[in-house]
Chain A
């Protein structure tokens, strides 16, 4: 459960306890377009998946990212 949050927090360079499922483009100033790419790339590498551009754009929050990974068969 917390592994994904830890990954995202690491990219955003913020404490993991400040990140939750709602953390995303609309709520976190740190989640810039560059950070978004880094988050997607880091997650792809960590879980061995490759997201489509549309999927990557849809991952606008930790919760959305988790949902997308689950639809791809990743247990997060």
Chain B
């Protein structure tokens, strides 16, 4: 029989005993922490008996005990201090803000401050307004101060040790966790498992046992984890797959390790027990927007408790504090799996959710945003996409007229547009005026926007008629016309779509290039047999792939010494700014938009370094454009890489204000005479488009030959792959 996992209060107690045994300089302070009482929640039980003189019960003065903790730390000791109820962390705010956190770096040298303030927080114990709050948000963003939170997935010893070693820190402990058991060995229950991403303070990742990809990822601190897990079960019953991410350390936030998880679902939600406003969840949402904006399919859903004091009566407490049904309902509603208009009510959850089969397709509501502080209503002047049309996230969607201006609003997510407020109608801030559906609209609904001689506008359509009267099989907008349909030139055979943000950026660049740059083009053919042999050898030796594009980047950079003026830009009609360093931009299209990130200072770096950069950029392009601005700026020349098989050559454009773009085509095998003998050889065509105002044909050819020589001459190959 498998023994039960310890309760978390017992685990915490065990962690403290172990730390006391391991760290002779460790002290513990707090109210009633000494035996026989052992702390209000018995977390410090047995410590004072075993370590007399190192566990001190203090007067009821949180401010005072925090000050003593700071003094002990400054004297070289380590301290764990217990604030009996986190609500009274307000009383330690001053010493934390002005003494404990500041002392680390305000004395001219870095001082270790191994202080951990344990703060029991949270409600659902019936303790009322001043003993139930979640105060984590008030401590976010203090330099040098780290915030941790107890969870059923993290080892309390690991958290406490990490906090002592990386402190000063606050450890928040949701009181409901004390009596709950940890989830050992990666097992949660028969439906879910968990694993740790990162170190002891990293992220717990809770997934279905079958590893199913998430429809929603619920990010939550440890105190909310059980409710989020219960919500995941409720959602599972509705056919929605939820993953959980639970951090061990709340702040500083390291979200990078979990980005691969967060870019998967239709919805990312952050659930926390505090009231809304300036919360950890808001910080997380902002980070998710910054890092995953191109990949998000819906706004991040933030869930908090009600804007209220916390009642002592349990039934009233349930109505105020965030619960599993709040989470499940909000997620289901956002995902579109809840029946329209169903409000949250207490009671069996089955009465709230309809069966999955009856649910409409997944949809993201488009809500009228607040555009100013003057108006509560705006006028829909026009829709910028047709009803039923597919729009991409970030594409212009609708124009709203406020009392001061007309503003263009972008689509919050990709999907098929279903309009519910016509142009010319006045709409209230917060009203849902459209939905973006994951699935194509039913055939008759799609036809309404274009077929039957109707103008391709929504102006003549009656309000509220967007929802189909009855179910119909979905039809792709691009479905070809049937034989009974009008001729190809008729409106019914035409569809429109709005370019996504990435493509609109590309459109702006190439349009400007064609308008402003009188470009000319030339090309050379290069034999690359020796190069390929060297690259194969290098790949084998280094254990990592190095390909032709990396070699071309290096070869172009190596030509900078002789052809520096081609790595410049035209300032005005007669002035060229020349770059002293070759920063080579490369075109990358992994099927999710064209990007031109910049590989910096290529001449002084090894080809394997360049290969790492190139791979990094390729992966970012694959992830949907996960680039920083600095990675996309500052190129002094661009290489268009089109090395797919069968590409003969590529005629690039010049990326204004640069002067040249070099292109690389695909590898081609051909027969050629070598010393009178017919033999196969592999060649590639290099092309160069150049601004003819600055560069002439002879220079262009000489530059291409120099690049080609770098790729084929044995002595130069040595330098290339060094």
Contact = CB atoms under 8 A, between A and B. Distances in A.
Contacts of A29: 645
Contacts of B644: 32, 34
Interface in A35-76: 36-38, 40-41, 44-45, 48-51, 53-54, 56-58, 60
A33 interface: yes
A25 interface: yes
A1 B259 CA distance: 26
Nearest to A3: B211
Contact of B260 (A32, A34, A44, A58): A44
Nearest to B666: A32
A50 B259 contact: yes
Nearest to A32: B644
Contacts of B118: none
Nearest to B589: A34
Contacts of A44: 260
Interface in B521-541: 536, 539
Interface centre among A36, A37, A49, A56 (most CB of B within 10 A): A37
B307 interface: no
Interface in A1-53: 25-26, 29, 32-34, 36-38, 40-41, 44-45, 48-51, 53
Contacts of A54: 544, 612, 615
Given A48-B260, A49-B260, A57 B545 contact: yes
Contact of A34 (B197, B590, B611): B590
A40 B591 contact: no
B334 interface: no
Contacts, number: 69
Contacts of B213: 45
Interface in B206-236: 207, 213
A34 B619 CA distance: 10
Contacts of A45: 213, 260, 263-264
A36 B545 contact: yes
A37 B622 contact: yes
Contacts of B536: 26
B696 to A, nearest CB: 34
B616 interface: yes
Contacts of B264: 45
Given A32-B644, A49-B260, A58-B543, A38 B615 contact: no
B645 A32 contact: yes
A32 B213 CA distance: 27
A48 B591 CA distance: 21
B623 interface: yes
Q: Is the interface of A mostly helix, strand, loop or mixed?
A: helix
Given A32-B645, A38-B591, A60-B539, A53 B260 contact: no
B257 interface: yes
Interface centre among A32, A34, A38, A40 (most CB of B within 10 A): A34
A40 B616 CA distance: 11
A37 B545 contact: no
A53 B547 contact: no
Given A45-B260, A50-B260, A53-B612, A33 B643 contact: yes
Nearest to B259: A50
A36 B197 CA distance: 25
A68 to B, nearest CB: 11
B619 A37 contact: yes
Nearest to B546: A57
A36 B207 CA distance: 27
Given A33-B643, A38-B590, A48-B205, A56 B260 contact: no
A57 B643 contact: no
B549 A56 contact: no
Contacts of A51: 619
A33 B545 CA distance: 10
B547 A33 contact: yes
Contacts of B256: 50
A33 B259 contact: no
Nearest to B197: A48
A48 B217 CA distance: 13
Nearest to B256: A50
Contact of B613 (A32, A36, A37, A53): A53
Given A33-B549, A38-B591, A60-B545, A48 B261 contact: yes
Interface in B588-626: 590-591, 611-613, 615-616, 618-619, 621-623
A59 to B, nearest CB: 8
A50 B622 contact: no
Contacts of B544: 54, 57-58, 60
Interface centre among B261, B590, B622, B645 (most CB of A within 10 A): B622
Interface in B103-143: none
A56 B619 contact: yes
Contacts of B261: 48
B260 A37 contact: no
A37 B583 CA distance: 23
Contact of A37 (B207, B612, B618): B618
Contacts of A50: 256-257, 259-260
Contacts of A53: 611-613, 615-616, 619
A45 B211 CA distance: 11
Contacts of B543: 58
Interface centre among B256, B544, B645 (most CB of A within 10 A): B544
A34 B547 CA distance: 12
A29 B623 CA distance: 24
A36 B545 CA distance: 10
Given A33-B547, A33-B549, A41-B623, A57 B260 contact: no
Contact of B591 (A33, A34, A36, A58): A34
A44 B626 CA distance: 15
Contacts of A25: 539, 545
Contacts of B197: 48
B600 to A, nearest CB: 15
B551 to A, nearest CB: 12
Nearest to A56: B615
Contacts of A33: 547, 549, 618, 643
Contacts of A60: 539, 544-545
A15 B213 CA distance: 24
A32 B645 CA distance: 9
Given A32-B644, A34-B644, A57 B619 contact: no
14 contacts: A26-B536, A29-B645, A33-B618, A34-B590, A40-B619, A40-B622, A41-B619, A41-B622, A48-B197, A50-B257, A56-B619, A57-B545, A58-B545, A60-B544
Interface of A: 25-26, 29, 32-34, 36-38, 40-41, 44-45, 48-51, 53-54, 56-58, 60
Which 6 A/B pairs are nearest by Cβ-Cβ distance?
A57-B544, A53-B615, A53-B616, A53-B612, A41-B622, A58-B544
Given A37-B618, A57-B545, 10 more contacts: A34-B590, A37-B622, A38-B622, A40-B619, A48-B207, A53-B613, A53-B616, A57-B611, A60-B539, A60-B545
